[in-house]
Each structure stands twice: as C-alpha cells, then as structure tokens.
Amino acid sequence: MTSTAGPGLRATARLLGLASTGLGVAMLRDPHGVARLVGVDDSAAAVPVVTAVGARELLPALPLLAGRPGWAWVRVAGDAVDLTLMGRALTDRRGDRFRRLRTATVAVAGIALLDVVTAVRSARSHGTGPAAALPGTAPWESAIDVSAATTVNKPAAEVYGYWRDLEQLPTFMAHVREIRTLDGGERSHWVAEAPWRRTVEWDAEVVEDRPDRLIRWRSLPGADIANTGAVEFRPAPGDRGTEVRVRLTYAQPGGRVGKVVAKLFGEDPEQQVRDDLARFKQVLETGQVVRSEGSPEGPLAGRLLRQRPAHPLP
Amino acid sequence: MLATQWMGTEHLEVNEVPDPRILNDRDAIIRITSTAICGSDLHLYDGYIPTMEKGDIIGHEFMGEVVEVGRGVGNLRVGDRVVVPFTIACGACLQCQRQLYSTCENSNPNHRIAEKLMGHSPAGLFGYSHMMGGYPGGQAQYARVPFADVGPIKVDDDLADEQVLFLSDIFPTGYMGADMCDIQPGDVVAVWGAGPVGQFAVASAKMLGAERVIAIDRFDHRLDKARQAGATDVLDYEQVTVLEALQELTAGRGPDACIDAVGMEAHSPLGVLDAYDRVKQDLRLETERPHALREAILACRNGGVVSVIGVYGGLMDKFPIGSVMNRSLIIRTGQTHVQRYTKPLLERIRNGDIDPGFVITHTLPLTDAPEAYRLFRDEKDECNKVVLKP
C-alpha cells in the first residue's frame, strides 16, 4: 500500500466513496423504499437485509472519499454478497418485480466491475512523488511510503553536511524529539512522537553514505516502528542551490486503518515530511525555523487548521 | 500594549494585549511612533480577505524606535529610528537574492494555505491574514519585526515621521507601479485610482520621465491631490466615459502604460456590470470586482504595459485575455518589493524630489482606529490618508 496513488485513481476512489455514501444513507433512511425499488419488497427479510447492507456501504465511504483506493476491496467483498443475494432472489421473482430486480442487479454488477478495477489498480500503484526514483528498501507488507522535495539555496556540500550530522535533525523534524549518534555516527538512537501522545524509539544505521550526494538509513531489529529513509542531494540547474529529495518508508502502527484515522487528525505523514523540509530550508537559509504568532512552531500542518490569533503570546 | 484587533467584518477594537517578545534571533522589537491605515486594510475591514481570525492585530505601515534586538541582528541598535517594510523577507533565499522580496520563500510559515489557492506562496506580510503568515500588524504600540537585519531602514532624526513613514508601503508601491511601466521619454501614463497609492504612482511616473500622466477617480479631493502630485490630466469616471476620454487625450493611440492602483473592490459607473460583480463577489463566486483592471487592459496602446499594484485575492471573471494576447500587452504585477526601493526613495526624500507627507489629511490617536477606518472607507471629511499615533 503506498500513499501516492495517481490522481485518476484517487478521483475514482472518491466517486466510489460518494456512491457508498449515497446508497448507504438511502438504505438506512428508507429501507422500505429501496426494497420496493429493487423489487424485493414482498420478502419479510428485505428490510433488515437492506438496512444491514446500508450500514456496510457506509464502512468504506469515508476512506474512499479521502481518496484511498485500497478501500475498494471492502466494496468488492460487499458486491459479491449483494450479487449472490440478488441472483438467488431473481430465480423466484416474476413480472414487474423480476424486471426491477434485473435492472438493479445489472447496475450493481456495473459498479462491482469499477470496484474490482479500482481495488486491483490500488494494489499495483507505485509511488509517484518527487523522490519515487530513490530506492525503496522496506520489506514490510503494510508500509507507508512518502516522499517530498525542496530546493535549498546553498551548495550541496553544506546541505549534505547539515543532514549528515544526525543529531541536528530534530531542529527541523517536528516529530523527532531526539537523536543520539553511537559508534561515531554509523548507528543512532531515535526518539519520536507518535499520534495520541505516545513516543516511539528505534536504533538506526546508515547503510549508504555518498558524501554530498546521498544518505540512506534503516532501523535495526527491535524498533517500535520499523523504517527506512533516503535523502538525495543534487545541484539545481544553473547552480541555483541544491535539490533535496527525501523518501521515507515505515511500517504503520494500525496498518492502513491507522493511517486513515491519523490523517483525519492532521497527522498525514506526507504532509509531515513536506513541513520538515520547509523547516530544513528555513534553517539552512535563514539560520532558524521561521515562526509567527499565528504559527509559533513554524510550518506545521496541524497548526493550519487551528491558527492562533495574530497577536503576541502571553 | 494597545493594539487594533480585527474582530470580524467592519468590527475593529483597540484592546490591551500582551507585549511582543523576541521569537527568533533575527527579530527586533519596535516601539511604534507612527502607523497608517492603508487602502488595502479596507479589504480586511470589509471582510474580503480570507483566513482572518478574530483578534488578529492589523496594520502594515509603521515606523518607530528599536527597543530590543535579537542576537542575530548586527546592523540595528536599541534607540535606532527605523521604517519597517510591510513585506517580510529573509534576504537569503533565491527570490530575495533576485530582489523579488515580496515572494520570499521562507517568511510565510503558513505557505501551505497560500499554495492551495495560488500554487506557490508569496512572502509573509504584517497584519494581513493567516494565509500571509499570521503575523501581528503595526497598528499597535509595539511590534515584533522578523528579519530585522534585512527589512527596516534607519532614518535620521532631522526627517519627520510624516516624511518617511510611507517608505513602509505606499510610496514604494506607487513607485514600483511606475517603475514596472518602463517609462520612455514622451510616454503617456494613465493611473486608475487616485487614492494615496495612485497619487504616489502619478508622482513617480513624473519623476521617471513620463510626458503626460492621467489620473482617473470619482472624488474631486483625490483628483486634486493627484494634480498636486503632478497629474497633467484628471478624469472623473462618473462624468466621462473613460475609454473615450483616453482615446481623445491620446489621439486614438491609448496610453503607453496603464497602472491599476484600485484592486479588488473597484466601482463601476455601469450599473449592470457593477451589480454582476457585486453579486458574484458576495456569493464568493469570484473574489474580485475588477472593473479598473478590465478598463486598463482595453485602454492600453498595442504593445503597452499594464502595471497592476492594486491588491487582488483570488479569482476573477470576464478577464479580457483576448485583448491582452492579440494586442501584445505586457502585464507586470506584484506585491511591492519594498526592500528594493527603500534606500533610493529615502535618497529622493532627502534630495527634496518629493515630500510624501502631502497625502496625509488626518492624524488621530491609535485609540480612534475604528472611527478612522469608517472615516477613510466612507470618504468622509475628504479623508485621504490617516496616520495613527500610538
């Protein structure tokens, strides 16, 4: 599962999310009406079944609306159940009810096809972010793979040098509280903030270090969250500073569900990396993170939704 | 300290708030001696700028005395008298090195909000919404000035506040409007909007060698000020049809350069068009009422420059791109790169080329800010420019 599904796929996911919401709400609010429309209102089981199906429709609606195509799998499973039920119902309906049920079945089959295509494509989608070309090294099945890029108006040697001194990273990485280097800088101990006020810790090692070009690292066994990262430095065209591309991969606590929930609380991992890079640029170019009274922490996604008024803090 | 706080549309209060503190090594704290209300502050007052929060301190034209400096500010000392540019710029990013200070890449911590609306973010501004950084403004007794080693310009004691205060915004803004016109000897320049910025644009166009400068407005007292600033002709758009009058004045060529010093809340004498844009703006279907810009484009001579210094916030309707494209017009625009102009314009003030104080009509205590905004917005008492004394 990657966080970088293409825009077309995300749009389809949102469309399916809308369909799920519409169907779910209609079924829960007026199960009798839906049963009549579909032509199964002659069965005693129709109303409870339609209500249950409506509740199930709502389950993947929110993540799909958020553009997460992987949730189409939930719809695919639901479609299989629905088509089975409808197929069985078709065998003992006649006349007008048969025609209505047949139309509904064809419609469900059509949406099911879109669900299957979306779900399969989501499984195949690969990172398309700015640093997608960097090697991914994560061996985990459920991982978050995020990337971001910025241009820093300093020579590559200086930009690389700042990053290579790992203990400085918490200056601009908002969620990393502390990094201690061990063994002369090859290994390091990381303490980071996780959602819901938890902290997570891990030891990491540098696995590739090409001065002024690239640093790649990964967590060692026993990490609270297994992760890998790579940062690439490249002179910008025309000698206009250094292009910095970061790619991070980490096993997500709570898997995909945890990620969707975290995103609802403003902890989108992609946004975190982009904010970190904005602060990195500020630190290298201006010396410090740039703060305003409205955003005292500097660039921070969570703060955008909860701005302090622009007057001095007491 | 006392500060002017935005509490909602058409609702300002002067309240006691905490004093500002140094947040960054390159900050300075200024005790404000003079601060002015800008025409663009009226867009905040009227509620047309998104991402304002209740309690925001507004105001971006201010000057005063340095009372505290951060460790990273080497060029200022406590007691220095400075004027502060309204654009906040780091001086180190590529845009600052290109002297495009109002597009500084580092000074807006809320750049993500602006990026959603504009693609990329401009610089942070004092007292001008959270999309522009969430910085408190200068209609207050004190202000924190970030990147104090880049922005503020020191002024000597023999120059009065009233002579140098407008280096913070409107003089450089009017000057940049004329500078972008690339004025050649013999050029005719037309300026839409004869408020203080338009008046400085008129004066600057004359200083830069324009042969004729035409000011367009509907208020006699503003047109009088424009004449005082050097306008050779004035047009009252409620009395004449502007496009026809400009054709007449330029014998059919159109002005060589047209400056829009009006921005998003333009008025139109054509009732239907005015109503159309007002309805769309009130429904937030467009953020602008762009009559002045549309007219400036249609009026400009083939291949001429349309220079936009009036403030726009987002999206507009019925933009005459066909006229721009087919007639080889050049559009130049931007929030003012104030830091680029403060030194040369301070020189012009010192040389006696101009005394910017001519725009001031009212000087009031800071505590009268809410009344001053009403006076200015509603054109009462021939109000042209208000200076507040904290």
Q: Which residue has the higher pLDDT, B363 or A88?
A: B363
The shortest CB-CB distance from A304 to any of B18, B90, B112 is to B112
- Residue B148 dihedral angles phi and psi, to the nearest 5°: -65, -15
Taking CB atoms and an 8 Å cutoff, what residues of chain A touch B107?
290
CATH code assigned at B199: 3.40.50.720
CATH code assigned at B162: 3.90.180.10
State the pLDDT at residue A148: 94
Residue B29 C-alpha, separation from nearest chain A C-alpha, in angstroms: 12
* Amino acid present at A153: N
Listed residues A71, A97, A124: the one ending a domain? A124
Residue with tokens 């139109």: B268
What are the pLDDT digits (tens) for B12-71? 999 999 999 999 999 999 999 999 999 999 999 999 888 999 999 999 999 999 999 999
Pairwise CB contact (< 8 Å): B134 & A308: yes
What are the pLDDT digits (tens) for B243-266? 999 999 999 999 999 999 998 877
User: Are both A206 and A80 inside the same structural domain?
Assistant: no
User: Are both B160 and B179 inside the same structural domain?
Assistant: no
State the pLDDT at residue A250: 80
User: Are both A78 and A182 inside the same structural domain?
Assistant: no
The reported pTM is 0.79
Q: Residue B381's closest CA among B223, B221, B215?
A: B221
For A:253-282, CB contacts with B below 8 A are: 271, 274-275, 278, 281-282
Instruction: Specify the 3-state DSSP secondary structure of B315.
Output: coil
Question: What's the ipTM?
Answer: 0.89
Listed residues B333, B355, B379: the one ending a domain? B333
User: Are both A283 and A184 inside the same structural domain?
Assistant: yes
User: Are both B297 and B254 inside the same structural domain?
Assistant: yes
Sequence-distant (6+) residues with CB within 8 A of B168 are: B36, B60, B61, B62, B63, B83, B84, B85, B86, B338
User: Are both B8 and B133 inside the same structural domain?
Assistant: yes
User: Are both A194 and A292 inside the same structural domain?
Assistant: yes
The tens-digit pLDDT sequence of chain A (314 residues) is 334 456 778 888 888 888 888 888 888 888 888 888 888 888 888 888 888 888 888 888 888 888 788 888 888 888 888 888 888 888 888 888 888 888 888 888 888 888 888 887 776 554 445 555 555 555 555 577 889 999 999 999 999 999 999 999 999 998 899 999 987 778 999 999 877 778 889 999 999 999 999 999 999 998 888 889 999 999 999 999 999 999 998 886 666 666 666 666 556 778 889 999 999 999 999 999 999 999 998 888 778 778 999 999 88
The total number of structural domains in chain B stands at 2
Measured at the CA of A151, the angle between CA A145 and CA A154, to 5 degrees, comes to 130
State the pLDDT at residue A123: 64
By CA distance, what is A289's nearest residue in B? B24
Measured at the CA of A91, the angle between CA A89 and CA A95, to 5 degrees, comes to 90
Instruction: Specify the 3-state DSSP secondary structure of A40.
Output: coil
A168 in any annotated domain: yes
State the pLDDT at residue B206: 97
Sequence-distant (6+) residues with CB within 8 A of A53 are: A27, A78, A81, A82
The shortest CB-CB distance from A310 to any of B18, B26, B136 is to B136
The total number of structural domains in chain A stands at 2
User: Are both A160 and A89 inside the same structural domain?
Assistant: no
Pairwise CB contact (< 8 Å): B3 & A311: yes
User: Are both B321 and B191 inside the same structural domain?
Assistant: yes
Residue A236 C-alpha, separation from nearest chain B C-alpha, in angstroms: 12
* Amino acid present at A119: A
State the pLDDT at residue A127: 46
- Cα(A9)–Cα(B379) distance, integer angstroms: 54
Residue A294 C-alpha, separation from nearest chain B C-alpha, in angstroms: 4
Listed residues A76, A93, A124: the one ending a domain? A124
Paired tokens of A195: 């959602």
A61 in any annotated domain: yes
Please state whether beta strands B142-145 and B28-36 pair in parallel, antiparallel, or not at all (unpaired).
antiparallel
User: Are both A203 and A74 inside the same structural domain?
Assistant: no
Query: How much of chain B exceeds pLDDT 70, in percent?
Result: 97
Pairwise CB contact (< 8 Å): B20 & A312: yes
Range of the domain at A90: 7-124
Instruction: Specify the 3-state DSSP secondary structure of A136.
Output: coil
State the pLDDT at residue A1: 34
Range of the domain at B9: 2-169+336-389
State the pLDDT at residue A134: 58
A232 in any annotated domain: yes
User: Are both B161 and B176 inside the same structural domain?
Assistant: no
User: Are both A69 and A163 inside the same structural domain?
Assistant: no
User: Are both A115 and A18 inside the same structural domain?
Assistant: yes
State the pLDDT at residue B28: 98
pLDDT band at B277 (very low <50, low <70, confident <90, very high): confident
State the pLDDT at residue B377: 94
State the pLDDT at residue B285: 63
User: Are both B347 and B306 inside the same structural domain?
Assistant: no
User: Are both A191 and A287 inside the same structural domain?
Assistant: yes
